[in-house]
Amino acid sequence: MTTTPVPVLDGDSCPKPQMEKRVKNVFVTQPEDPRDRKKETMCIPATTETSSKLLEAGVKALKKALIARKQAELHELDVQLALKRQDFRSCMEAFAIRRSELETQQQQNKEEEMKFEKFVAEKEVKRRKALKQCEETLEQNILKRREIEDLTEQLTKLETRRQVLKQRTEKNKIYEDYLMKTLDHLPSIPHHNSSKSFTMPIIRRHEMLSVTHQELLQRLRRMEAAVEQHWRQLQDMKQQHSITMLMSSKELSELHSELESLKEKNRQVEVNLLMKRGVSREKGEEVGKLLMAVNNLAQECYIPEFGPLEGMSVLTMMDMVKEFVLDKVDTERRVRRLESCSNATLTDKRWRESLKSISSKTQIKSSSKASKISDSSN
């Protein structure tokens, strides 16, 4: 830190005030000393200069005092700054040493971490190998246990077979004793033929019995297979029979429903037929009444020119009735013409009109009756 040079004031350049005695603590800002206050006496300076010059001299003296004080403070600050710089340098050196130590420690930690990771990887590989070996040993132990179980089962079977064979030999020992006794009682036979003469028939008999036994076993197996096959066929037939029963019951229910529907339709058709028959019966009754009326009219209006009445048809009967009516009308017209000559023309016209209307009505009735008769005959 650089300090600015303070200007030096020349003492001869400014006038000095002439005082009899120096007065302390001229300015109010300076603290007063109580000890000096007791010793001081009231002194009045004897100045030969003006007040303005005195003030300037006081200001200059104050500035000098302030500058000296600032220089002292700056010197103290420079000393403190130098001390701080020295402390900072020592701290930086300590920090550098600590940093180097930390870097070396960090490097050591990295190396230890790498060693530890390598150690962990090796341990993991060893653990996997150990687990694999353990699994293999477990599988081998399981296989060995199964083999042991199979062997123990075979051993138990062989033991049971040995017991059975032992019991069978004990049971058949009486036959051996019997044969030995028979051999003792038989006469002496040459030695070279004795074994063949007694053992060969027994061996042949045993072979024949074993062959028959095998054949019987094979036959029994074939029969068992056939029985099983027939039983399966029976089960299949039962299943098919149940299925056919279900299908037939379903078809029977469908046919029963169809029968019920057909019965209902037949009932409706019978009702409709009865209704139609009732209508046709009424029509037949009307036609019968008309025929009876025509027959009655034909009997009353019979004309011999048309032939006998029994074999006459309805149309001829109606024509006969028409001719009879026309004849009656003609005779009546003639009689009335004779009775009333004045009204002859009028009556003639009226009678002709009435005859025309009657003839037209009779023709219409005859045609309608003929059509009804033809419909009823059909």
The first and second tokens of residue 190, run together, are 């040459």
Q: Which residues 6+ apart lie within 8 Å of 312 measured at CB?
A: 298, 306, 320
pLDDT at 82: 92
pLDDT top residue among 46 and 140: 140
pLDDT at 12: 41
User: Per residue in 209-260, pLDDT tens?
Assistant: 889 999 999 999 999 999 999 999 999 999 998 898 999 888 998 998 898 8
Query: Which burial class, exposed, middle or buried, applies to 294 when counting CB atoms under 10 A from its CB (0-12, 13-18, 19+)?
Result: buried
Question: What span, in angstroms and rounded, lies between the C-alpha atoms of 1 and 21?
Answer: 43
How does residue 171 score in pLDDT terms, banded at 50, 70 and 90?
A: confident
Question: What span, in angstroms and rounded, lies between the C-alpha atoms of 282 and 297?
Answer: 23
Local structure of 147: helix, strand or coil: helix
How does residue 342 score in pLDDT terms, banded at 50, 70 and 90?
A: low
How does residue 106 score in pLDDT terms, banded at 50, 70 and 90?
A: very high
pLDDT at 43: 46
**Is the model's pLDDT at 187 over the cut of 70?**
no
The first and second tokens of residue 141, run together, are 């132990």
Q: Which residues of 32-64 are buried (b: 16+ CB within 10 A; e: fewer)?
A: eeeeeeeeeeeeeeeeeeeeeebeeeeeeeeee
pLDDT top residue among 169 and 275: 169
Q: Which residues 6+ apart lie within 8 Å of 36 measured at CB?
A: 24, 25
**Is the model's pLDDT at 69 over the cut of 80?**
yes
**Is the model's pLDDT at 88 over the cut of 90?**
yes
Kindly state the percentage of the chain with pLDDT values over 70: 71
Of the spans 85-94, 289-298, 347-356, which averages the highest pLDDT?
85-94
Q: Of 126-140, 212-226, 256-270, 288-302, which gets the smallest average pLDDT? A: 288-302
Domain coordinates in residue numbering, the chain: 301-377
Q: Of 47-51, 190-194, 340-344, 357-361, which gets the smallest average pLDDT? A: 190-194
Query: Which burial class, exposed, middle or buried, applies to 298 when counting CB atoms under 10 A from its CB (0-12, 13-18, 19+)?
Result: buried
pLDDT top residue among 230 and 38: 230
pLDDT top residue among 32 and 303: 303
pLDDT at 369: 52
Rounded to the nearest integer, the mean pLDDT of the chain is 77
Q: Are 22 and 49 in contact (CB under 8 A)?
A: no
Residues recorded for the chain = 378
pLDDT at 15: 42
Ramachandran quadrant class, 180 (left: phi over 0; alpha: psi -120 to 50; beta: rest) = alpha
pLDDT at 343: 57
CA angle 102, 104, 109 (to 5 degrees): 90
**Is the model's pLDDT at 298 over the cut of 50?**
yes
User: Per residue in 2-32, pLDDT tens?
Assistant: 444 444 444 444 444 444 444 444 444 444 4
CA neighbor of 81 nearest in space, from 3, 24, 22: 3
Ramachandran quadrant class, 25 (left: phi over 0; alpha: psi -120 to 50; beta: rest) = left
Kindly state the percentage of the chain with pLDDT values over 90: 32
User: Per residue in 39-68, pLDDT tens?
Assistant: 444 444 445 557 788 888 888 888 899 999
The first and second tokens of residue 66, run together, are 């302030």
pLDDT top residue among 270 and 162: 162
pLDDT at 159: 92
In order, the DSSP letters of 173-236 are HHHHHHHHHHHHHSPP--HHHHHHHHHHHHHHHHHHHHHHHHHHHHHHHHHHHHHHHHHHHHHH
pLDDT at 45: 47
pLDDT at 59: 86
